[in-house]
Amino acid sequence: MEISTTATMWRTPTKRRAIAGAVAGAGALAAMLFCRPTAEIVLSVVGWSYVFLMPSFPVCLAIWRLGRKRVQWNKLDFLILLAPYLTWMILCGTVALPKSLSNLVVELFLLGLAVNLAPIIRLTLPRRWNGKTVAAILLMVMCAVAAGIYFSVPCLPE
C-alpha cells in the first residue's frame, strides 16, 4: 500500500485536483461575500470589463477561426483574451492610484485594442517559430501592456 503524498497526489490528474480547485474557488467567493464593499467594487469592474471584452471577442474569434490552417493555436493563445483584463483588474484592486470612471472607459478601450492585436501578430509570424514560445511571449507582453496602460493614464475628469 502506497501512502499518498503531495508529490504523488499532484503528479497525475485526479479528482483530488478538481476538488482542491473547487474548494479554493468557494473559499475565494466566501471571502468576497464577507467583505461586501470589496465584492461590489470587484463585481462592478468585472461587469465593465465584459462590456469591453465583447468587442475583442468577435475579432479574436474570427482571427482564430480563419487562421486555424496556418497556425496551431494552443491554450496560451486563448488565455491572451482574458489575462490582460485580469491583470488590469488586479492592479485596480491592489494599487491605489487616483482614478475616475472616465479612466475605466478609456483604459479598457485601449486594452481592448491591444488584445485585438495579439492574435494578428501571432498569425503574421513565421510558421517555423515555436508556437508555445510565441504565445507565452505575447501573453507576457499583453499583461505588461495592461500594466502600462494602468500606470500611464492619469486621472481623467469625469
The pTM score is: 0.65
Cα R_g (the chain), whole angstroms: 19
pLDDT tens for 5-28 read: 554 555 555 555 555 555 555 555
Q: How confident is the model at residue 140 (pLDDT cuts 50, 70, 90)?
A: very high
CA gap 133, 91 in Å, rounded: 26
pLDDT at residue number 17 = 55
As to burial, measured by CB atoms within 10 angstroms (0-12 exposed, 13-18 middle, 19+ buried), residue 5 is: exposed
Q: What is the DSSP letter of 2?
A: P
CA gap 127, 33 in Å, rounded: 47
pLDDT at residue number 113 = 86
Q: How confident is the model at residue 59 (pLDDT cuts 50, 70, 90)?
A: confident
CB atoms within 10 A of CB 88: 24
